[in-house]
Structure 1
Amino acid sequence: MGRKRPAKPIVRTDQVLDIQDYLKYRNERDYILFVVGITTGYRAGDLVTLKARDIREALKKSEFTIFEGKKKNSKNIREKNRKPRTVEIIPKVAKLLKEYIRDKKDYEYIFQSRKGVNKHIGVQAVSNILKEAGEYFGLYDISAHSMRKTYAYKIYIESDKDIVAVQKLLGHRTTQETELYIGLDKEKYHQYSKSLSDFVR
């Protein structure tokens, strides 16, 4: 069995908008989840557990604060390693969220599973939804993790390729980790390889 290919960021704005439109017409939950994911850079595992009260609290402050971190085997290790990360809620997203949670009770998960209000959608289900949307537009290796990578890539481009800024926003230990994360190692390699064509007439 081959190694699982890493998720890719969606690097073009028109493709991000295409996927948004595709999800919007199919399922409001999936559309909102995607928009929140690509504008906050939170891990899908942290997003799917949000409840209506979390959103109402965030909207009051105009920012999200989530204790995020990769899941470990032990619950104690997981809790110890989780770090708070705060991001601004941009006005367009605030408006969408306000409308989306209007009729939801505080204890309800906002990204509910089809199994009922007391269950949230799983990360694998999010991956399946985004994979299908990506493939519809000819994009492959798109998964739940692509939302965070898309956020990171956009910040990288808009910050005039300030990899340190992206590193800090993602909470990575090194810039090398960040470059690898958003696929810049391959992008650089491709650019360097292209320059070799100068050697050939």
Structure 2
Amino acid sequence: MKKRPAKPIIMTQNVLDIQDYLKYKNERDYVLFVLGVTTGYRAGDLVTLKVRDIREALRKNEFTILEGKKKNSKNIRERNRKPRTVEIIPKVAKLLKEYTKDRKDYEYVFKSRKGVNKHIGVQAVSNILKEAGEYFGLYDISAHSMRKTYAYKIYNDNDKDIVAVKELLGHRNIEETKRYIGLDREKYHQYSKSLNDFVR
């Protein structure tokens, strides 16, 4: 069976509900989710952050992460990585400062429960968000939904500026960005709805 692509969380209220749900269950998951939807970084890049990375970002008021899609070979991934800089909004800066307050620089920010010096895995993040999404009747939510939610929010709140979203995500072309945030599906749905006029 083909895996269905992750969906963005379109409604702000749903994003806030999931935040509250995660905050109640586990602070780590809550902080990771907030960071994901406000930076648009891939979950695979976020889970490997160490406390020193957070402190450096807070000092500069921005993150710069070498991003790259996972490839079969580690060497290919390293060659295809490129830096992407994102501003840290004040509420998130405050949250991160508090969350890392008593932590050591060399620790992973988002620790796994399985080991002392291990970070949470992307699949575990997907499982956590899937459970949270389903609680609120949202399906096809995974770790990648954080990045897609970030992209959709920027698109929707900035006069549907697809070029800005493309640049912010580091995509090669606009068609990739449209598919990424589900605009094609949205458009097809609107076109199909107009056909209702044909039926009494």
Same fold (TM over 0.5): yes
User: Which amino acid in structure 1 is aligned with residue 22 of structure 2?
Assistant: L
Q: How far is the alpha carbon of 1:26 from its aligned partner? A: 0.4
Distance 1:142 1:74 in 2: 27
Q: Is this contact kept in 2: 1:109–1:117, CA < 8 A?
A: no
CA contact (8 A) 1:152 1:170 kept: yes
Q: Equivalent residue for 1:103?
A: 102
Distance 1:17 1:114 in 2: 25
**Does 2:171 match 1:172?**
yes
Which secondary structure does the structure 2 equivalent of 1:45 belong to?
helix
Aligned to 1:163: 162
* Contact 1:7 1:145 survives alignment (8 Å): yes
Over residues 146-174 of structure 1, what are the superposed CA-to-partner deviations in whole Å (9 max), with x where a residue is unaligned? 00000000000011111111111111111
**Contact 1:108–1:117, Cα closer than 8 Å, also in 2:** no
Q: Secondary structure at the match of 1:7?
A: coil
1:116 counterpart SS class: coil
1:117, distance to aligned residue in structure 2 (A): 3.4
Contact preservation (8 Å) 1:111, 1:120: yes
Distance 1:82 1:62 in 2: 22
Aligned-partner SS, 2:117: strand
Provide structure 2 residue ranges, at least 5 long, that are not aligned to the other structure.
none
- Matched residue, 1:53: 52
Pair 1:26 & 2:25 matched: yes
- Using the TM superposition, give the Cα deviation of residue 72 of structure 1 relative to its aligned residue in structure 2, in angstroms: 1.1
Q: Secondary structure at the match of 2:175?
A: helix
Which residue number in structure 2 is paired with residue 35 of structure 1?
A: 34
Quote how far apart the aligned CAs of 1:194 are: 1.0
TM-score, structure 2 length as denominator? 0.98
Tell me the equivalent position of 1:68: 67
Identity over aligned residues, as a percent?
84
Note the C-alpha offset of 1:58: 0.1
Structure 1 stretches of at least 4 aligned residues deviating more than 4 Å after TM superposition: none
Paired residue type of 1:65: T
What code does the residue aligned with 1:115 have?
A: K
- State the Cα deviation string for residues 108-148 of structure 1 (Å, max 9, x = none): 00000002331000000000000000000000000000000
Q: Which amino acid aligns with 1:73?
A: N
Instruction: Choose 82-91 or 191-200, whichever is displaced more.
Output: 191-200
1:178 partner letter = T
- Compute the TM-score of the two structures, normalised by the length of structure 1: 0.98
Q: Give how far 1:73 is off.
A: 1.5
Local SS of the residue matching 2:118: strand
Between 1:116-125 and 1:17-26, the stretch displaced more is: 116-125
User: Counterpart amino acid of 2:164?
Assistant: A
RMSD, matched Cα: 0.8
Q: Structure 2: how far apart are the matches of 1:197 and 1:138?
A: 27
* CA–CA distance in structure 2, aligned partners of residues 92 and 28 of structure 1: 16
Give the CA deviation at 1:198: 2.5
CA contact (8 A) 1:7 1:141 kept: yes
Amino acid at match of 2:167: K
The aligned residue for residue 147 of structure 1 is 146
